[in-house]
Structure 1
C-alpha cells in the first residue's frame, strides 16, 4: 500500500483524528469522502473500533479501548463536530448470554472462535449495520482496529468502497451487501457489475471512509491465511487517509503483522 505522510498537530495526534480535539479549533469537512449535505445538517464523526482476538475491556486494555476512552463525545466548542462511536470486542470474547449457557460450553465456543474465526463476518456486518443506521450526509467515518480487528476494519472500508453504505437498514440487506462484496473479492463473474448496480440502487452516493487507523494487521482468520480478506482491503483508494502501526519484532507466526 502506498504510504501517506501523516500530518500531525503540535500534540502529536494525527490531524483530523477523533482524539485531536483539544488542539483543533475547527474541523473542515473532507471533500473527498463526504457527499453534499443540507445546509441545516450538522456533520458528525462516526467512529468504529474493533479489537483483536480475545481482546475486550478489562484490567489490561489494548490501544483500541484506550482510543475509544479518549473520544470526545460532546465537545464544548460548537465549532467541533459531535461524535458517535461503536466498539466491538475481538474474536473469542462472546459474553455469557450468547448462544451458550454452560461455562464449559462457552469456553469451547470461544476457543473454537479464536482458532477458526467463524465470527469474522458477523463482526464486520454488525459494524457495517451500525454505520448504516447512524450515517447522515456529510458525516465522516473513522475506522480503527487491532490485529484481526485491523483486518476487519480494512474489510469494512473495502466493503463500503465496493458496494456502498445502504440507506435502508435491515439484517437481510446488510447480509446481501456483504455477499456482493465477497463475490467481488472472489472475482466471481459479473460480481463487480452487480455490486455497482446494488450501490447505485440502495446506497448513499459519493461517500467514502475518511480515515482508517490500524495496529498490526493480521489476516489469518482460521487455520490458514485467507488472501481474499487481506486483498479486499489492501488498496489506499478505499479511504482518504490510512495509517498503520506495525510491531516489526513480532515473532509469532500466526500474528506477524502484514501490510
Structure 2
C-alpha cells in the first residue's frame, strides 16, 4: 500500500502494481508507457520515501525540516538540489536514485523560506518519477498542481493546493502574507473533465507566487457527483440532491483554518460555479458565524458546522459569541463584533442556481426539495466580512429549475463592493466546461480574473498551460438554450431582471449589435438604453 502526501496532506492511497515483465524494484508515479495516467505539472522541491507507517501529523510537523538521511524508515530522500540530467541524488545510504523524466531544473527563490533550493519543474510535456516499490510517499512540493499514481484503478482528483498544513518552524514565516484561494467546481465537474470549467482555469492560472514573492496558494475542490464519489448512486445523488455538500464545505473551511495566519493578515479569495458558487457563499457565511478555528481547536469543526447550519439563532447570539471567543482566531479590528471574524477579500461566483444551490431536477417529485431543505440559503444577503463580491449571471437560462440566486449587499458594511453582472448565454455558457461555448464562458472568466487582479491576485496568462487555457472571449458565439428532456417537465421562463440597478456586460451589447436576432425577452425593457439610436 502506497500513500501519497503533498504538503502534508494525503491525496492518494493505493496498492501500486506493475506488469510482470517489468523490474519490480521500481514503481512509477505519473505518465508511463503502459498507463494513461496524467503528467505532473508544476514544481517540486523535495521527495521523501518511507517504508514505515507515519502519522499525518508527524509528516506535517517535519515537512519543513531538512532531513539528515539516516532517519529510521527513510528509504529515499531527494532534496532535488543535487542531480544531473534526469537523475535525482538520494541523500540516504540506500542510493535509491530517482529518475525524473520530462522535467527541467531551475534555480528559483521559494515563497516559503526553507533550506530547499533548485525545485524541479514538471511542465506540460510531462514527466514521471520512479520510486522504490510499494513505498509510503511523503511529497513536499513548493508549488504543485496534480500528482497521480499509475494504478489502473479509478483515480481521484488531487487538489490544486500548495498549502502548508503546519505551523512553519522558522520565525520568518509568520510575518509573510499569503493569498489563500479556494476554488469550488460545479456538480459533476472535475479536473479530469474533457474540457475545463472556469473554476479549473481560474485555479490553474493563479501564479504560485506574486511578483513580490507573496505566496498564492490554491485549493481546488471538484464538484459533487464526480469520480471522487465511490459509486453511481452517490454520483447521481450528489447531482440531484445535496449529498456531499457538508463534506465539501468543511473541507474548504478546514483548509482555511489550517493555513490562515492572523499576524500576516493573509487574504482569502473564494470562487465557485453553480453548486460550487453556493458552497463558497455558504463558506463565507460559516466564517461569519463561527470565525476560523485556531489550529489547536480544529477538532471543534463538527460543532462549528452544526452551529452554522442552525439558522434559527442569530450569528450574534451569546452562544455564537462564546464559541468564537473560545475557539476562533482573533483579528485586530476597531469593530468589536468582527474581532473573531476574518475578512474575505473576494467572493466570486459564476451563476449561483436555486435557493438550495441545487437545481430542481425532479420537478414533479417533492423528495429532492425535502431532502435539500437544510441546505437552503437562509439569507441572500452577503456576510459583512465579504469585502468584494462578483456574480456573473446568465441572461438566457430559461429552465425554471435553474433560478438565479442574487447577491444582496449587507448594510452593516457600507464599503462592501457588490457587482452582479449579466452575460449572454445559458448556465453552462457562464461557468464553462463546454468547449463549443468557450467564447462566452471566456467572457465571464476574463471579467472575473480582471476583477481579482484589481484586488492584488496575480495570474500567469502566458501560453505555458496550452491553448485551452488561453482566454479568448467571443461574444457572438452561438449557443442552444432550448429546454428539453427532463428539464422540459419543469417548464421554462426567462429569468426576471428585477434589480433597480442592472449591470449588463459590454459583451452583451456587442452581441446585440452584431446579431439583430438576439433579443432576449428579459432584456427587451432595456434595449433602448443598451442600443441608443
Scaled by the length of structure 1, what TM-score is found?
A: 0.74
1:144 matches 2:271? yes
From 336, 346, 370, the equivalent of 1:211 is 346
Q: In structure 1, how many angstroms separate the alpha carbons of the residues matched to 2:214 and 2:183?
A: 18
1:50 matches 2:184? yes
Question: What is the SS of the residue equivalent to 1:86?
Answer: strand
Structure 1's 164 and 232: CA in aligned 2 closer, same or farther, altered over 3 A?
farther
Aligned residues: 210
1:182 matches 2:329? no
1:87 matches 2:220? yes
In our comparison, the structure showing a higher alpha carbon Rg is 2
Q: Check conservation: 2:187, 2:238, Cα contact below 8 A.
A: no
Scaled by the length of structure 2, what TM-score is found?
A: 0.37
Q: In structure 2, how many angstroms separate the alpha carbons of the residues matched to 1:67 and 1:161?
A: 25
The match for 1:32 is none
Q: Higher helix share goes to which structure?
A: 1
Query: How far does residue 59 in structure 1 lie from its aligned partner after superposition?
Result: 2.0
User: Where does structure 2 lack aligned partners over 5 or more consecutive residues?
Assistant: 1-171, 332-341, 359-367, 407-533
The match for 1:41 is 175
The match for 1:240 is 387
The match for 2:405 is 258
From 253, 276, 290, the equivalent of 1:163 is 290
Which ranges of 4 or more aligned residues in structure 1 deviate by more than 3 Å? 169-172, 188-191, 225-229
CA distances 1:154-205 after superposition (whole Å, capped 9, x unpaired): 010011011100012666411111111111xx21489832111111111112
Which residues of 2 match residues 12-31 of structure 1 at below 5 A?
Answer: none
The match for 1:132 is 257
Q: In structure 2, how many angstroms separate the alpha carbons of the residues matched to 1:233 and 1:254?
A: 18
1:59 matches 2:194? yes
Q: In structure 1, how many angstroms separate the alpha carbons of the residues matched to 2:317 and 2:225?
A: 33
Q: Check conservation: 1:158, 1:232, Cα contact below 8 A.
A: no
Question: What is the SS of the residue equivalent to 1:243?
Answer: strand
The match for 2:207 is 72
CA distances 1:106-125 after superposition (whole Å, capped 9, x unpaired): 11220122111221111000
- Pick 1 or 2: higher relative contact order, CA cutoff 8 A, min separation 6: 1
1:195 matches 2:320? yes
Q: Higher strand share goes to which structure?
A: 2
Query: How far does residue 62 in structure 1 lie from its aligned partner after superposition?
Result: 1.1
